[in-house]
């Protein structure tokens, strides 16, 4: 039987995972309905992988102070350079930033680094609609910690891998930071996670330069072997994803390629996986393109894999 695994993004620490899952399923059922699919998902039809509390614990769980304090305790210089690189790319992607040597992160340190980061974040607050420096910093901090802290990453990966491993094929839908985690886990040798007919990534930051560099630092880019098909969906207005996962921005070698498509995510900021808009489920999961992909993958009668007894019905 084909399983459905859902992997959320950041900013879920301290929240009720059952409530988040209910919101995800409501949004996904909206996408299924709008795609014309008859399939509707219930609680026991999906495995919702919740790592929010673990991530909050390994990152300290404290919200950073407003940027006006110029404090940002707990942010190392390397993390600040990472944040500055992402902020610059967000500003450039929004059409705000032109080349400004004083904001280059590579050679900055000490007071000049903090001044450049403060200036970049102030520019985000002033000029980038739908995004704030606080949201950007929290996003960057969590992605940075996951990619650079071996112990934190191992803790999260172990829990996620346990959900991926199991009997039968698994369709994986991963949002934002969850797409980074899904890629990292699936490109590693995960016992039991050897049959993923479809990976759908929503609003993935994998092609943001600083994120891509950190992913490459862990291991060379490679296609995640269990995955037969990878579709990357994003709203072009989503400034926490910025780029398609195409060969130019995310150069995975080999004959297989990631399919990219643009969708409409009408919620403020255009990044949320599941939300309510005018009382109706909205977000990436409510896009009919997502519903069509999930319905097709979950209802397909698949040919037997070598060593199995026959087709695996949905």
pLDDT tens per residue, range 31-78? 999 999 999 999 889 999 888 777 777 666 544 433 333 345 457 889
| Helix (H) / strand (E) containing 277 | strand 275-277
Whether the per-residue pLDDT at 189 is higher than 80: the answer is no
pLDDT tens per residue, range 4-24? 999 998 755 557 888 999 999
Residue 97 pLDDT level (bands cut at 50, 70, 90):
low
Alpha-helical (H) ranges within the chain are 17-34, 52-58, 77-93, 110-127, 133-148, 150-164, 177-186, 209-218, 288-299
CA distance 199 to 201: 6
Of residues 261 and 308, more confidently modeled: 261
Per-residue pLDDT, 241: 93
- CB-based contacts of 181: which residues, under 8 Å, 6+ apart? 7, 51, 146, 156, 157, 160, 174
What are the angstrom distances between the C-alpha of 3 and each of 37, 118, 287, 294, 303? Answer: 18, 45, 21, 11, 16
Of residues 188 and 244, more confidently modeled: 244
Would you state the structure tokens that stand for residue 78, as one six-digit string? 């390397």
Residues 95-113 have a mean pLDDT of: 63
Least confident of 83-97, 106-120, 166-180, 240-254: 106-120
Least confident of 100-104, 106-110, 174-178: 100-104
Of residues 189 and 139, more confidently modeled: 139
CA distance 78 to 73: 13
Residue 266: burial class (beta carbons within 10 Å; 0-12, 13-18, 19+) = middle
What are the angstrom distances between the C-alpha of 155 and each of 29, 56, 181, 252? Answer: 31, 12, 11, 26
Residue 137 pLDDT level (bands cut at 50, 70, 90):
confident
Per-residue pLDDT, 277: 94
Q: Report the Cα 288 to chain-centroid distance in Å.
A: 19
pLDDT tens per residue, range 140-169? 888 998 999 998 898 889 888 888 887 789
Whether the per-residue pLDDT at 110 is higher than 80: the answer is no
Hey, where are the domains in the chain?
1-314
Least confident of 37-41, 137-141, 242-246: 137-141
């Amino acid at each position: 039987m084909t399983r459905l695994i859902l992997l959320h993004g950041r900013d879920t620490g301290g929240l009720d995972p059952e409530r988040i899952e209910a919101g995800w399923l409501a949004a996904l059922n909206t996408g299924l309905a709008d795609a014309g699919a008859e399939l509707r998902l219930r609680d026991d039809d999906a495995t919702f992988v919740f790592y929010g509390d673990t991530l909050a614990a390994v990152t300290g769980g404290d919200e950073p102070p407003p940027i006006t304090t110029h404090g940002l305790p707990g942010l190392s210089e390397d993390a600040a350079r990472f944040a500055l690189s992402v902020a610059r790319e967000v500003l450039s992607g929004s059409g705000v930033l032109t080349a400004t040597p004083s904001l280059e992160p590579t050679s900055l340190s000490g007071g000049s680094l903090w001044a450049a980061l403060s200036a970049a974040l102030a520019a985000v607050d002033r000029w980038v609609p739908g995004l704030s420096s606080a949201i950007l910093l929290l996003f960057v901090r969590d992605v940075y910690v996951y990619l650079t802290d071996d112990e934190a990453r191992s803790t999260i990966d172990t829990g996620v891998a346990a959900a991926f491993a199991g009997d039968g094929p698994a369709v994986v839908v991963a949002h934002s930071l969850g797409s980074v985690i899904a890629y990292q886990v699936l490109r590693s040798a995960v016992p039991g996670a050897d049959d993923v007919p479809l990976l759908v990534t929503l609003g993935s930051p994998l092609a943001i330069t600083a994120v891509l560099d950190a992913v490459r630092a862990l291991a060379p880019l490679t296609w995640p072997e269990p995955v037969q098909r990878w579709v990357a969906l994003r709203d072009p207005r989503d400034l926490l994803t910025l780029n398609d996962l195409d060969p130019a921005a995310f150069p995975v070698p080999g004959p297989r390629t990631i399919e990219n498509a643009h969708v409409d995510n009408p919620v403020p900021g255009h990044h949320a996986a599941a939300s309510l808009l005018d009382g109706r489920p909205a977000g990436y999961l409510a896009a009919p393109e997502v519903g069509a992909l999930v319905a097709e993958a979950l209802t397909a009668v698949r040919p037997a894999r070598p060593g199995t007894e026959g087709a695996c019905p949905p």
